[in-house]
Structure 1
């Protein structure tokens, strides 16, 4: 399914209308199922009660069986969270499609930040609010809904994989894939864990930035010394670390690390006013970098400080701090090798040691970027299905973050076509307080996936 030949078969208009009617008729029950899933606090972070993750997996098993998937089981690998795998074999000559989503969720944070309880689904203005309502229990419902809508008309083989540890970085996912390689093998993989361009405008995620991170330590003394007696000739480690961090960007805010690459700029842009509203940028704060906002978000590297170790203000003493460290997170552009990016970052940090301070870099996580072929047969089918469902052509979008398990999927199944779709929109606030899914968009996603599966069968 990775060639670029055009699809020769199209679905009759009355067939599309029939699937649209089926989707509308099924959506009330699908919404109730989503609400039931949201009520399960399936936070996969180890500090939370993991029995809820198991309960969530059991609920997904019931949903898949109710959608016509008889072969359903909960599988794990040592140290892993429960994943649900359901299978329906392909008719002779038809492709097999792997449908991925995850049933675990992020911690809710402070209940006071929510306008309604995080695990009590609540509708306001056409949106359903609750932790996991968008990320990614709506993805589960998208798959379940498409299977219900097609019913006995399903013309492809389907394997459904609903993971239980995505929100903690899928630590056992690679081992899981290798342990169940034959069980999960597919021609097309649909990952329902991304976003659309806007409410009313679908998106197909064609690129993801990769990730490297590290901890950089700056040391200037063997031990702390009295700032009154020795302050002046010796700059403290936090000051020197700040100076080192400042070299990572130029005066316009562009990344200034030699060896970090750019991919081509996207063909669409993000209006600055909309971006400011979506991200809650404070008035008066100037946006960093030059060029299109979408390029800075999707196809160019970004570096941020995500942690800082230095004396706390509450326990500070009048001494010159001997060492300080920061954790740096680098989003790398599609086409960049993570090992090369880490080497470039290390060379920059070590080469810009301020005042001869001792700089130590400790490597951290690495994740590969992703670039989908824009004209594969599977991508053509997805474009058609999305256009039929929404009534407007989908936008090719990138994601500024990474979905590391996609690189794992490509490693284990290099010949599979991967489609990254989603149920979120710019106001979904995934991972934050008041997470929500737009119910009208979710209905469109269900129809689009049903159309996609039928088109793949026809093609």
Structure 2
């Protein structure tokens, strides 16, 4: 195992160079103008995997973005491990707010900055490093699956899994798209909240009215909408929608000062909700208003607004059903719309939550690999956000053991400006994955399967 750790270090400089080349490709599938860049990214990933020693490398698509599947056959009697990452990235937002160009990887203070450096092109780099450290011939079968539309909700993933089931079937699935407790302490993600969203529109008038002539007599739509949205939480910030599921969370210490540091909470602004931070982040539902359509301040006039709408995003605790939660949210909106205003609720995306029973020999092997690579015991954590495709994998391959790992840390700022990868975390994550492949393949005379 010591030699394997050294080999990971040996391959990392080339892996980092490959990662930087991938980051320079603006693979934003959500932007139609850059879809050719996503296709170029898939070709680049395919080339890297071919050069790493995978004999069977394919670019596939089922009506959506191109994905890459690369296969190395298992030795007789050995298991097959599926390694997942995605090569598409979030839009960069306002490039002027970046400290360096978003698609030009730049190192500062041990971190590599750029869109996709962590989420999730570093997942590809992790898989490449682990495979190369084994000389392209690990003791297990390895299938690498690199998706191309995860940041757009993976709309064609179910079709990909169905169409290429035989290629993707595995005993263990490693999903490298999550984060770690810190840059020094690794995490195994064992639960994820689901997602349900909708657009709510309220209408009070068939046309705008002069607010001086009719204000105080008939309601305007924006005031109705504000009151309706305010009903979604109680005075402490807890979700006030009835019938939503709550789970339990791991007993970990998440002090207030870390919350403030990790989030950039402004001085004087309080946390919301009740219960531990872990409960609120991982095991309770949350509701956020993520957009409002109404008259802008710049275009405002003394007019009663006839219509207004908002988009509501809800996170569903593990064990809950996303569809049932959206129905409960819809009932709440119907029951709390003031003054008889007309209400329209348009359902949006659904993503089921997921909880992993992280016990048994595969997870024991993973934890031991983390301990050896990081020098610290891994923390079993939840994720407050959603990775709905994990439930898709579980449905497609119900017998497989799923490990959710990653190369992010609290300072990564995935999806935000100045996204970055801690280079020490990349090394430790790649080392842990290489060690896991060895253990799953029978290192030290035994196998985890």
Equivalent residue in structure 1 for 2:12, among 13, 27, 32:
27
Matches within 5 A, 1:314-329: 314-329=298-313
Q: Describe the SS at the equivalent of 1:48.
A: helix
Distance 1:196 1:326, change over 3 A: same
Gaps of 5+ in 2: none
- Aligned residue number for residue 102 of structure 2: 118
Equivalent residue in structure 2 for 1:438, among 393, 412, 422:
422
Counterparts of 2:298 and 2:423 in 1: how far apart (Å)?
A: 46
1:138 matches 2:122:
yes
1:357 matches 2:371:
no
Which deviates more from structure 2 when the two are superposed, residues 59-68 or residues 386-395?
Answer: 59-68
Distance 1:217 1:152, change over 3 A: closer
- Aligned residue number for residue 229 of structure 1: 213
Aligned-residue offset at 1:221: 2.2
- Aligned residue number for residue 53 of structure 1: 38
Q: Describe the SS at the equivalent of 1:359.
A: strand
- Aligned residue number for residue 150 of structure 2: 166
Which deviates more from structure 2 when the two are superposed, residues 446-455 or residues 309-318?
Answer: 309-318
Counterparts of 2:101 and 2:348 in 1: how far apart (Å)?
A: 36
Given that 1:38 and 1:131 are in contact with CA atoms closer than 8 Å, whether structure 2 keeps it comes out as: yes
Given that 1:266 and 1:299 are in contact with CA atoms closer than 8 Å, whether structure 2 keeps it comes out as: no
Distance 1:287 1:368, change over 3 A: same
Equivalent residue in structure 2 for 1:183, among 162, 167, 183:
167
Matches within 5 A, 1:278-427: 278-427=262-411
Q: Describe the SS at the equivalent of 1:151.
A: coil
Counterparts of 2:253 and 2:339 in 1: how far apart (Å)?
A: 41
Aligned-residue offset at 1:153: 4.9
Given that 2:54 and 2:136 are in contact with CA atoms closer than 8 Å, whether structure 1 keeps it comes out as: no
Given that 2:92 and 2:416 are in contact with CA atoms closer than 8 Å, whether structure 1 keeps it comes out as: yes
1:36 matches 2:18:
no
Please give the TM-score of this superposition, normalised by the length of structure 2.
Answer: 0.96
Aligned-residue offset at 1:315: 2.0
Aligned-residue offset at 1:356: 2.4
Counterparts of 2:101 and 2:127 in 1: how far apart (Å)?
A: 26
Given that 1:210 and 1:401 are in contact with CA atoms closer than 8 Å, whether structure 2 keeps it comes out as: yes
Gaps of 5+ in 1: 1-15
Q: Describe the SS at the equivalent of 1:441.
A: helix
1:202 matches 2:186:
yes
Q: Any idea what the Cα deviations from partners look like across 1:139-185, whole Å, max 9, x if unmatched? A: 00100110011125511111110111112221211111111111111
- Aligned residue number for residue 248 of structure 2: 264
RMSD: 1.3
Aligned-residue offset at 1:311: 1.7
Which deviates more from structure 2 when the two are superposed, residues 413-422 or residues 306-315?
Answer: 306-315
Which deviates more from structure 2 when the two are superposed, residues 333-342 or residues 165-174?
Answer: 165-174
Q: Describe the SS at the equivalent of 1:304.
A: strand
Q: Describe the SS at the equivalent of 2:44.
A: helix
Aligned-residue offset at 1:422: 0.2
Counterparts of 2:317 and 2:71 in 1: how far apart (Å)?
A: 35
Aligned-residue offset at 1:372: 0.6
Aligned-residue offset at 1:303: 0.3
Q: Any idea what the Cα deviations from partners look like across 1:90-123, whole Å, max 9, x if unmatched? A: 1122111111001111122222111111121111
Counterparts of 2:433 and 2:249 in 1: how far apart (Å)?
A: 29
Q: Describe the SS at the equivalent of 1:211.
A: strand
Q: Any idea what the Cα deviations from partners look like across 1:355-400, whole Å, max 9, x if unmatched? A: 2222222211111001010213322221111111101110011111
